[in-house]
Structure formats: structure tokens, C-alpha cells
Structure 1
Amino acid sequence: MASPLRLSVLDLIPVRSGQSSAQAMSASVALARLADRLGYERYWFAEHHNMPAVASTTPPVLIASVAAQTDRIRVGSGGVMLPNHAPLVVAEQFAALEALAPGRIDLGIGRAPGSDPVITQLLRITGPTADVDRFPDHIGDILALLHPGGAALRMTSGNEYTVHATPSAGGVPTLWLLGSSDYSAQLAAQLGLPYVFAYHFSGDGIERALELYRTGYQPSEQHPTPQTFLTLNASVAPTEDEALSRALPQMRAMARMRTGRPLTALESVDASASAPTDTAVTGLVEAMRRRWVIGSPDAAADAIRDLSTRYGVDEVMISPISGSREDEPFDSTPGREQTLELMAGALLTDSASSRELSASRP
């Protein structure tokens, strides 16, 4: 019998025109509480910097807030961009989160910068950017530092110096590698770690990446078998027309970014609908529409089941990209709430079973 499909949420904390960061974050915290009640598996925050339409710059801070205001859902990063941070700092932050919310913390790690070259230099001002080449070593450092036994450093004197992310760890967060390339899939397989393919960012190469991960997987003590899921963008509404209109602000923002145009806060649904025709933007929007899940609940559920079956995953993490209308409040996100509610109704029909399953999983 096939495993039941699990749903999770990836949140970039979108910021619409006229909305403050405080209002955007308040809306996302409310969305996380809703996901918790609906039976979603996990709720992750991305790390992006210096983008007017994205407020998820500090995943550990956001995770702490949401973990304190939810009951059962796993909370984590999707992901921490490790080259921007010292491995010890990441280990300490997530060890502290695990102590605050035992058994509910995920540490998703990526190696992309999460911003433009100027911001990348500012983030890495205390160390050479070439440290990205030491990504595998830094993953190993974090794993060792999070272990209850800590990590041992050998000093030039020959003595060992023990380092712990927390003084007395009772548990450790689950570490995931994120990516959309062969490199990340092969590294996750080599280290015996769970792996997430960033399908929401680029679906190219997913078949090869998952095949490399599964065939090359080296079992680890914590993860004897490979574990993977994919992320995707979704806008779901009672009708396909509404789902598309809700998705348009995010699609237009992505198209502008990919054509090198100035970044702005997200347009409202109304502003996107009345925007002048732009051939370059329209072409990219159409390409996104074919890859993203945009439609009515039944159509969206069928599309997600198809992706799950095609790529052999039993969990899908959706990034709810539904925009807001001009007359909707700034401190909530009705379109994204609707997407989560309709997807839960179509795919998580037995909420009690979903909660029991979530509580039993690492």
C-alpha cells in the first residue's frame, strides 16, 4: 500500500506594495499556525537578503517565533545559506532551537548566496568567499558540533579541545541538504543525509539528481535509508481563473528578476491584472504557469499527486505564492491561507491521522 502523501510549507514571507515587514511577518506567523491546525508536516523559512518583496532574512529568528506559537508542526530552514555563516554559529542557533522545541526542528542547509554579489560580500566580510569550496567540510563540522558528544579540535600543542553547540544536548535537529543540482544530491548521498530538490526554483535536472541521490546513498546511523521530497510553487482557489490571478503578482516579480529589471515589493492582484503588456515578461509568465501548480483544488491535487508519483516522493513542500487584493488587510494573507486550506481539504482528508503520522516522524 502506498504511503499517504504528506504536505509541508515553504515560506519566503512575501511583502506586497504598501505592507511593512512587521505586517508581512505577522501574516506569516498566522499562516504557520493555520498549517499547524490543518495537519501539514513542516513549515520552513527561506533565507534571502536585500529583496523588497521578501522578508525572510533570518530563519532562526522566525523559527523561534513560530515554534513558540504552534503545537505539533516541525519548523525549520529552507534553508540556511551556509557560506554566509560560521558553522559554529549555525550549530549553536539550531541546537538552542531544538532545546526550545524538542523534536520539532529541521536544519535545511544550502550553499547558494541567497542574494546579489554585493550583499554576498557584506555577509561574508569576515571571511573569504572561497569558503564556499569548503561546504562539505562545514556540513561535517555542524554535524559534529550538534552531536551530544560535541566535536574535538586538535590544537598545535597536540592537546584536544572539545566544542559543544549546547552544553548538554538532549536531542539534535534533523539536518537536510537543499539544492537543485547534481552536486548537492551527490553530497547528501555521500553523507547519508535527507535531501530536498528545489523544484520551486528550477525543475531542470530533477530526475538525474534524485537518481544520483538514491543510487549513491551511503546509509548513516540517523538515516539508514534515503529520504527526499521536492518543493513547488502553488496557487489554489475555487476556480482556475482566481488561482491564476492570485499567482500573477509573484510570476511577474520572478519575470522581472530574471530579465534584470529593478526589484520592487509585490504588486497587488489588481495591479498585476491591469499592468501593460510586456512581451518578455509574458513569455516567462507562461513558462512558469506550465511548471507551477495553479488551479482549482481537484486539479491542483491531481498535479501534486502526479509529481509525487513521477519522482517517487511521499512528501511535497508547497510555497503558497497567492497574492493579495488591494482591499485585503496587510496583516493577513487570505490568498495563501486559501491555498493551504484547499490543499489540505483535497490531500489531507484525515487531519487526525496526519497529526499522528507527523508526530512519529523524525
Structure 2
Amino acid sequence: MSPSAPALSVLDLVPVRSDQHTGQALTATIALARTADELGYRRYWLAEHHNMPAVAATNPPVLIAMVAAATQRIRVGSGGVMLPNHAPLVVAEQFALLEAAHPGRIDLGIGRAPGTDPVTSMALRHGAGGVDDDAVAHFPEYVDNVRAMLSPEGVGVRVSGRTQALRATPAARTTPELWLLGSSDYSARLAAERGLPYVFAHHFSGRGTAEALELYRSAFRPSEHLAEPRTLLTVNAAVAPTRAEAERLALPQLLAMLALVTGAPLTAQRLVEEAEEVVLGDQHRQLVDGMRRRWVIGEPEGARARIAELAATYGVDEVMVHPVAGAYAAGPADASPGREQTLRLLVEGADAPTSD
């Protein structure tokens, strides 16, 4: 890539296709992570979603441990841990151990959304403080607690009239890099107040990106962890040798997103041939076309140019690619050739993305 091109990273939801079981989807993710590592991508983040037939990313810390152990250089993290679902101490302990095992390679991306349906949210949060506890309202406090508990000094907790230190691990030498994630201005404002790096979920929302990033930058307060605002952009991408093939490979994920935004029943991700059999009405076709215009879909040169354009438009030096290319019926069930192809074509024939 040219010197002005952004660094590239990867976001993975661990999709489960109609031809896969969970174990095969995990094997495909490990292969994708190794591909990203070999190609020089900067980060590999894993999402948190629950009770969804097409997503196996239910437990970011477990997935991070698997991916970090299978790779050599790439930073591995959460995109993100949905903090209201979990006790802050548990999150801090998990990521302190991950950082101890892979020092300098772990990112902790934190989000405020539930990442699931109300029933599953209730089941998750019952174990983290009771269903009546308004975990979302306590989000800023929870972020502060996780941050403090990850530090070598820990956080002071007052119990029975005495203050005791609470640490995520006995002898921390390094700490994970902490990011706040969001798809509205709430986390942008909080990240600015706390002096933390911030990610807007452009791949999911696609609207309000410029406004959220401007709010973050204008309100940013330097902290001991970060002197200046730091952001990255997430984007859905399907890249193939031709535009026509890229359009075919993107269709299964476009239909999955259509079902999500319209409240239709969710299913395992369709294969390309299955997706092509779906007949859309005019209104749904317009929704799909609108999403398609916001995604990066096309041949390598055009896709690279589009990513560079997005980075310049939003003033970021790093773009996190969510590879959404689907699979054909004749392909292997334990691999994701289309997703791996997307990552390869974004850097082949160009300078490898910097990992600094």
C-alpha cells in the first residue's frame, strides 16, 4: 500500500454457516487469524454476541486465548466485551491473565450494548448482580473499576470500615490496551472524558460516524494512558478478483443483516447459492442496496481505494475490516475461503499494512 494508506486490522464475529457446526466455525476462525497474522494485520478483535444461530462469538476471552495461542505477532482483543453483562472484576481478571500470557498483544475493547436478546441479557446479568441491577446505568463506574483493577496498584474497596486493595492479578507487569466501543455519542463522550481510545461501530451503524468522532476529538481530555485522541474505523468488506464475484460473496451477510434490522427470524448464515435463491420485495431490496453502498465490496484495487477514502474522510490511520464474504456449497466446511481471500487481496500487490 502507499505510505498514506491506513493500517489494517480484523473484526471477527465467528460466523456459523448452514454447512457448519460450531467446531468447524472455530477452526475457520483460527485459520483466518493465522492468515491475518501472516499478512501483517495489526489487530484481530472478536465480538460478543449471544443466542444467535449465525454467530459463535459468545465468549471473547476464551476466543482471544485460542487466537493468541495460534498466532505470533498480531494484537488480539475484544470488539468488544459487553460490560453490563459481566462483573467488572471477572472481566479484569480474564484480561489480566491474557495479558500476562501474551504481554503487549492484548486489547480490551468494552461496549455498553447487550449484544443479545432481552431473555439472554437477563440470564447473563442475573449472575453479575441480579436482574434488577441497572448495569447499563453503572457503565462509567464499571469502566473505571476495570481500568483500576488491571493496574498493578489495583482499586481500593472499603469493606467493614477498612479499605483493601483489589487487584485483577497478583503481579501485573503490563496491562491490556483499553478501548471504548460505541454506535452512538454516549461512548464517544465517555471515552473523551476518560482519555481513552474510541471506536465507532461504522460496520454496524454506518450513520452518525463523523458526528461521534468529532464529539470525541473535540471533548477529549488527555490522560496518563493517552495524550491525544485515538480512533479507528470498522467496515464490512468482501473482496474478490472481480466486482461480480465480490457481490455474490457479500449477499449471505447482506441478507443476515436484513433479517436483523427487519426483525425477521434469524438463521445460520446462508451459503452463496442459498442466498441467491431468496427473492426480495422492493422495500427489502432498497434496504439491502443501502447497506451495500456503505460496505466495501469489489475488486482489490477499488476496495483498497475505498478503504483509504474512508480513512481520510473520518481522519483515522487504522481501519478494522470485518470480512463478510460468504462461502460456496462446494467449499470446505471447516474454512472460510472467501474471508481469507478478502484479507489477502487487500494487501497483495501492495505494501503490507504496518503493525506499529
TM-score between the two structures when normalised by the length of structure 2: 0.96
- 1:149 aligned to 2:153? yes
Task: Summarize deviations over 1:328-354 as a string: whole Å, max 9, x none.
Answer: 0110000000000001225xx333xx4
Specify the alignment match of 1:77 in structure 2. Answer: 78
Task: Summarize deviations over 1:262-294 as a string: whole Å, max 9, x none.
Answer: 110011101111223333432211111110110
Kept in 1, the 8 Å contact 2:48–2:82? The answer is yes
Percent identical pairs in the alignment equals 57
For 1:133 and 1:207, the matched residues in 2 are separated by 26
Kept in 2, the 8 Å contact 1:186–1:212? The answer is yes
Opposite residue 145 of structure 1, the aligned amino acid is M
Give the Å deviation of 1:152.
1.1
For 1:57 and 1:350, the matched residues in 2 are separated by 34
For 2:226 and 2:53, the matched residues in 1 are separated by 38
For 1:206 and 1:335, the matched residues in 2 are separated by 27
Kept in 2, the 8 Å contact 1:92–1:166? The answer is yes
The DSSP-based 3-state class of the residue aligned with 1:332 is: coil
Opposite residue 120 of structure 1, the aligned amino acid is S
Kept in 2, the 8 Å contact 1:34–1:337? The answer is yes
For 2:40 and 2:280, the matched residues in 1 are separated by 40
For 1:326-345, list aligned pairs within 5 A: 326-345=329-348
Give the Å deviation of 1:141.
0.2
Opposite residue 180 of structure 2, the aligned amino acid is L
Which of 128, 142, 164 aligns to 1:138? It is 142
Specify the alignment match of 1:12 in structure 2. Answer: 13
Give the Å deviation of 1:131.
1.5
Specify the alignment match of 2:249 in structure 1. Answer: 246
TM-score between the two structures when normalised by the length of structure 1: 0.95
Structure 1 residues 266 and 36, CA, compared in 2 at 3 Å: closer, same or farther? Answer: same
The DSSP-based 3-state class of the residue aligned with 2:137 is: helix
Structure 1 residues 330 and 2, CA, compared in 2 at 3 Å: closer, same or farther? Answer: closer
For 2:280 and 2:182, the matched residues in 1 are separated by 34
- 1:259 aligned to 2:262? yes
Give the Å deviation of 1:100.
0.7
Structure 1 stretches of 5 or more lacking a match? none
Structure 2 stretches of 5 or more lacking a match? none
Kept in 1, the 8 Å contact 2:5–2:308? The answer is no
- 1:204 aligned to 2:207? yes
Kept in 2, the 8 Å contact 1:83–1:129? The answer is no
Q: Alignment RMSD, CA only?
A: 1.3
Specify the alignment match of 2:238 in structure 1. Answer: 235
For 2:247 and 2:4, the matched residues in 1 are separated by 31
- 1:183 aligned to 2:177? no
Specify the alignment match of 1:163 in structure 2. Answer: 166
Could you list the structure 1 runs, at least 4 aligned residues long, displaced by more than 6 angstroms after superposition.
none
For 2:288 and 2:275, the matched residues in 1 are separated by 12
For 1:16-55, list aligned pairs within 5 A: 16-55=17-56
For 1:16 and 1:254, the matched residues in 2 are separated by 14
Deviates more, 1:23-32 or 1:120-129: 120-129
Specify the alignment match of 1:273 in structure 2. Answer: 276
Specify the alignment match of 1:318 in structure 2. Answer: 321
Kept in 2, the 8 Å contact 1:146–1:164? The answer is yes
The DSSP-based 3-state class of the residue aligned with 1:133 is: coil
Task: Summarize deviations over 1:305-348 as a string: whole Å, max 9, x none.
Answer: 110001100000010000000000110000000000001225xx
Opposite residue 311 of structure 1, the aligned amino acid is Y
Task: Summarize deviations over 1:161-188 as a string: whole Å, max 9, x none.
Answer: 1111000001000000000111110100
